[in-house]
Amino acid sequence: VVLGVDGGATSTVCICLPVFPSDHRLDAPDPPPILGRSSTGCSNHNSVGETAAREALELVIAEALHDAGRDPSAVRAVCLGVSGVNHSSDEQRITKWMRDIFPCSTKIYVRNDAVAALASGTMGKLHGCVLISGTGCIAYGFTEEGKEARAAGAGPVLGDWGSGYGIASLALTAIMKAHDGRGPSTMLTSCILETLHLSSPDEIIGWTYADSSWARIAALVPLVVSCAEAGDQVANEILINAVRELTDCVQAVVRRLNLCGEDGNNEFPVVMVGGVLEANSKWDIGEEIIKWVSQVYPRARPIRPKLEPAMGAALFAWNSVIKET
């Protein structure tokens, strides 16, 4: 079997797939059937610390294997796409954790979670650009030759303003500005106060700093969208800013990798993943980005994957095994 892990800032998912013998590859279903699946909480070491991150990865792998009726010795390859993997030292640390679980014959691939998201739209192949906007945001790209580039993904302190956290934090800031006279009044005030069961904007300060979880703030994004859809100008401007930030990320990656080619006619996928990019009835951030991508890069293929990122990671591992057979 092979394993694929998608470790985000909010949750971690592991999927177990079978590896078919080389003489049965043509008969194998596409995608392969899921033998086991499990999920747990955050595995980003920047958010929860190394100990908790390791425990989350170990737990989700153990449960997926148990669900599949397999043990670590049966795993031919595992691909872990984990948020917070930003440097070779991060890859080496997690690889070392995995070596305590799997035999030396198991191939281990550790990458940023953007790789799993990209692979979910390309059936395990690493080519093109992926844009993720959930709790955090990042754009990541690969050329067919293996060159890679990224934009954003550095967390809210360092400016991931197209993320769910970025959108919601700007909404909370707008409420405070309206309250003390530095900004225009906004429907966000009554909407968010009612949802949080608070009586005044002053209480937002205590609510915000009572828990440092980024996901807790990002969970307010649907309220920002609903206010924008109801005609609130402040909420509308926040979403427009998010679209601008996210399209800048895509453009930075495409430009650095020259994915569109010298003449601009190369075809490449743009995979879009994350709760912020999911469809809404009126104000659809993902659709606005697709319109922009199609105008700037006519040969780009925007993809909203039907497979979850953990499946993308598993298919990447699956492809790595198949290439050897």
How many CB atoms lie under 10 A from the CB of residue 198?
14
- Say if residues 269 and 119 touch (Cβ distance below 8 Å): no
Phi, psi of 12 (to 5 degrees): -130, 130
Q: How far is it, in rounded angstroms, from Cα 194 to Cα 196?
A: 6
Closest to 247 in 3D by CA, of 146, 124, 161, 121? 161
Sheet order of strands, 268-273 included: 148-152, 137-142, 128-133, 268-273, 300-303
Q: How far is it, in rounded angstroms, from Cα 45 to Cα 31?
A: 31
Q: How confident is the model at residue 25 (pLDDT cuts 50, 70, 90)?
A: low
Q: How far is it, in rounded angstroms, from Cα 130 to Cα 172?
A: 28
How many CB atoms lie under 10 A from the CB of residue 4?
32
Q: How confident is the model at residue 214 (pLDDT cuts 50, 70, 90)?
A: confident
Phi, psi of 301 (to 5 degrees): -115, 95
Phi-psi region of 48 (alpha: psi -120 to 50; beta: other; left: phi over 0): alpha
How many CB atoms lie under 10 A from the CB of residue 306?
9
pLDDT at 29 over 80: no
Q: What pLDDT, in 10s, does the model give residues 226-251?
A: 999 999 999 999 999 999 999 999 99
- Say if residues 276 and 137 touch (Cβ distance below 8 Å): yes
pLDDT of residue 317: 94
**What DSSP designation does 34 have?**
P
- Say if residues 97 and 60 touch (Cβ distance below 8 Å): no
DSSP 71-85: -GGG-SEEEEEETT-
Omega of the bond prior to 29 within 30 degrees of 0, cis? no
Tell me, which fold does domain 2-123+307-323 have in CATH? Nucleotidyltransferase; domain 5 (3.30.420)
Q: Which residue ranges does the chain devote to CATH 3.30.420.40?
A: 2-123+307-323, 128-304
pLDDT of residue 20: 75
- Start-to-end Cα distance in the chain: 14
Closest to 321 in 3D by CA, of 22, 97, 7, 103? 22
Q: Tokens at residue 287, please?
A: 């659709």
Q: How confident is the model at residue 24 (pLDDT cuts 50, 70, 90)?
A: low
Task: State mean pLDDT over 263-271.
Answer: 92
Q: What pLDDT, in 10s, does the model give residues 105-149?
A: 999 999 998 999 999 999 999 999 999 999 889 999 999 998 999
pLDDT at 191 over 60: yes
Minimum mean pLDDT among 14-28, 167-181, 197-211: which range? 14-28
pLDDT of residue 46: 86
Q: How far is it, in rounded angstroms, from Cα 35 to Cα 33?
A: 6
- Whole-Å CA distances, 282 to 188, 287, 304: 17, 10, 18
Q: What pLDDT, in 10s, does the model give residues 57-110?
A: 999 999 999 999 999 999 999 999 998 898 899 999 999 999 999 999 999 999
Minimum mean pLDDT among 88-102, 187-201, 270-284: which range? 270-284
CATH architecture of 128-304: 2-Layer Sandwich (3.30)
Q: How far is it, in rounded angstroms, from Cα 323 to Cα 325?
A: 6
Q: How confident is the model at residue 47 (pLDDT cuts 50, 70, 90)?
A: confident
